[in-house]
């Protein structure tokens, strides 16, 4: 188990439906919090990685604007984009830059200001995250894609709409405790089941919402981490994979092969297994996505994720607490900021600083971040 690169600082804005300021101001909030948390100055940062889905940004090449506003010039800066997995792709690249010896400290900055687009414009851009020749022109949108995954899981394993509702009920319970979440109100199973249909069987409460927000992570090599931080959180394992953009190129829809492959790589690098994970953040863009993650990450056998959920094993006090910050379903999903927010949650958990969302005694945590409809997957294992 290598401890070569650590996260020494984390920051995040509140995720909101409409941020009142400019992108640079929103990013500054997350960056300033992360720098304070790390106990460093901007001049100590050797490079910055700016993670964002560009079609939502009016600013062409936002990395230059962000670096200037944050006082990071003349250090190098780069834009990274892997749709919704951009933030954790930034962690993978930052880890690589540090391991290569090019930089001692790297900032991973994620953001999205989605309120500048209408819902229709946003959905159209989301749809173009799929194949623009063979799928997107026919009007396929994210809810419809995940509805197909839900139907496949229902048909093979007997999963029900009530199971999906239980995912959202759990998310709302923890989202109500999270002061950075968009939705901070608990909902009942009955409310979930009676809500309007978006793409059957997915209803309104089965879907996460667009949001504005920013996140920031500060990574350092082992020497600097030990010099600077009294509470470094180490990157123990990294896994990544990709899949056919066109769903007809997939072998099945009952799970996401990219997550299974990325998880296998991360567990192998860390020398750990699913049983060693104390707390997890998974990409619950839709309720069915969380159920798929239970199985793809090895927390449950295929088709048995519902057993974990129904038994309360994915809540605090259960065998593997998942998304105890409310997940995307409650926090909202500002695309470029989501991965960094997930990592921030696990860092706080491993430090024992998660407040009312704290999992007692958490020592090893996992993040799963998906880009598109299972096109990209990053899995990161973190430890104290």
Q: What residues are annotated to the active site?
A: 84, 333
16 and 212 Cβ atoms separated by less than 8 Å? yes
What does the DSSP 8-state code read for residue 115?
G
The CB density around residue 58, as the number of other CB atoms within 10 Å, is 9
The CB density around residue 303, as the number of other CB atoms within 10 Å, is 16
Beta strands in the chain (DSSP E): 5-12, 47-51, 77-80, 105-113, 197-199, 202-203, 212-221, 233-242, 279-281, 364-371, 376-383
DSSP string over 211-277? -EEEEEEEEEEHHHHHHH-SS-EEEEEEEEEE--SSGGG-S-SSS-HHHHHHHHHHHHHHT--GGG-
What are 8's two structure tokens? 């020494």
Task: List Cβ neighbours of 361 (8 Å cut-off, separation of 6 or more).
Answer: 278
Which sign, positive or negative, has the C-alpha torsion 293, 296, 298, 304?
A: positive
What does the DSSP 8-state code read for residue 311?
T
The residues pairing with 78 across neighbouring beta strands, listed in sequence order, are 49
Burial 260-297 (b: 16+ CB within 10 A, else e): bbbbebbbebbebeeeebbbbbbbbbbbbbbbbbbbbb
């Amino acid at each position: 188990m290598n401890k070569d690169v650590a996260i020494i600082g984390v920051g995040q804005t509140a995720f909101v439906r409409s941020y009142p300021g400019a992108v640079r101001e929103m990013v500054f909030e997350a960056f300033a919090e992360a720098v304070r948390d790390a106990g460093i100055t901007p001049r100590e940062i050797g490079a910055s990685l700016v993670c964002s889905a560009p079609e939502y940004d009016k600013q062409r090449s936002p990395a230059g604007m962000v670096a200037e506003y944050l006082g990071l010039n003349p250090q190098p800066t780069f834009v990274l984009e892997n749709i919704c997995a951009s933030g954790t792709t930034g962690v993978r690249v930052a880890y690589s830059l540090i391991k290569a010896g090019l930089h001692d400290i790297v900032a991973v900055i994620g953001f999205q200001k989605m309120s500048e687009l209408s819902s229709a414009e946003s959905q159209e851009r989301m749809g173009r995250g799929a194949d623009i020749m063979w799928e997107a022109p026919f009007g396929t949108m994210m809810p419809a894609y995940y509805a197909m995954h839900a139907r496949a899981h229902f048909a093979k394993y007997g999963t029900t709409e009530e199971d999906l509702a239980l995912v959202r009920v759990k998310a709302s319970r923890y989202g109500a405790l999270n002061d950075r979440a968009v939705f901070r109100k608990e909902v009942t199973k009955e409310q979930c089941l009676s809500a309007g249909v978006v793409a059957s069987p997915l209803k309104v409460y089965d879907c996460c919402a667009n949001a504005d927000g920013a996140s920031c992570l500060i990574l350092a090599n082992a020497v600097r981490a030990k010099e600077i931080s009294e509470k470094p959180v180490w990157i123990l394992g990294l896994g990544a994979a990709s899949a056919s953009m066109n769903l007809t190129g997939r072998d099945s829809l009952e799970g996401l092969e990219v997550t299974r492959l990325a998880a296998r790589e991360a567990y192998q690098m860390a020398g750990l297994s699913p049983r060693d994970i104390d707390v997890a953040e998974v990409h619950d863009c839709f309720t069915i996505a969380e159920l798929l993650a239970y199985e793809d990450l090895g927390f449950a056998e295929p088709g048995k994720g519902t057993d974990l959920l129904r038994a309360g094993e994915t809540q605090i006090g259960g065998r593997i607490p998942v998304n105890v910050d409310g997940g995307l379903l409650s926090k909202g999903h500002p695309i470029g900021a989501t991965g960094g927010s997930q990592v921030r949650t696990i860092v706080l958990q491993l430090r024992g600083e998660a407040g009312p969302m704290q999992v007692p005694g958490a020592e090893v945590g996992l993040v799963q971040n998906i880009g598109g409809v299972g096109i990209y997957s990053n899995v990161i294992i973190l430890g104290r």
